[in-house]
Amino acid sequence: MILRRRAEEMVHLMQMTEGEISKAHHNVSGEIHIGAGESRSFHHISETAGKIHAQYPDIRFTITSGDTADLMEQLESGLIDVALIFTDYDHDQYQGIRLPQEDRLGVLMRRDDPLAGKDVISFHDMKDQPLIIPRAAAGLLSSDPALADMKIATVYNLIYNASLFVEDGVGYAIGFDGLINVSGDSALAFRPLETQIIQAATVIWKKYESFTPAVNLFLNYMKQGTK
């Protein structure tokens, strides 16, 4: 009888402990601050967020859009936990997960523009044309002798505003495919660049940062999802 009472106490204690652990597991809460450039690769993040939200509804996500320069500054200052970028990074300071999807660069133009009749666009086609380019590409165009004489009319960091410039005839915007609706009765068209530069997205975070349980959970889900 003594052994039975002690066994019952132990089983009851085990059940209470399991319940408390389960409750703590399902009550993970907090905020995850994500910075991201505009890309279809963001679907990997949004799919991960959907899985987490289904199991941990008390976790809240905050999304900040911007180019790599903006995001690296915010990541360094601690304003965001992770960043989705498209350039190399300091592997001594940051860890990263390279996402499997690659983005295709192309030219956004008016649908009634003569260049819209081409299947692909070359840089020769764009010579002497007013270009609307992402801020991250400004340095590339100015440093490459073959592209240094391209006519830059506007520099942007968010493609939607750039698309309005295209629609109103300011120039041709270089950017990623799939970000602006060019189907149906849209006034715009997108054509891929003939010379493609591989644009692979990477999710990075500070290597030695102490994260909240919510952010650690997000990173674990991201790692599992890209294996």
Please give the pLDDT value at position 226.
Answer: 63
- Tokens coding 214: 């919510």
CA 200, CA 219: separation in Å to the nearest integer?
Answer: 19
- Output 133 or 18, whichever has higher pLDDT: 133
Percent of the chain's residues with pLDDT above 90: 49
Position 150, amino acid? M
Q: How many other β-carbons are positioned within 10 Å of the β-carbon of residue 90?
A: 9
Distance separating alpha carbons of residues 14 and 72, to the nearest angstrom? 46
Average pLDDT score, the chain: 86
pLDDT above 70 as % of the chain: 87
In whole angstroms, how far apart are CA 180 and each of 13, 25, 109, 227? 57, 39, 11, 30
Domains in the chain, ordered, with CATH?
A: 2-102+200-225 (3.40.190.10), 105-195 (3.40.190.10)
Residue 134: helix, strand or coil by DSSP? strand
Length reported for the chain:
227
**44-101 pLDDT tens trace:** 999 999 999 999 999 999 999 888 888 999 999 889 999 999 888 999 999 999 998 7
pLDDT band of residue 216 (cuts 50, 70, 90) is very high
pLDDT given at position 19:
63
156-214 confidence digits (pLDDT tens): 988 999 999 999 999 999 998 889 999 989 999 999 998 766 667 899 999 988 899 99
Look-up of token digits 């989705």: 84
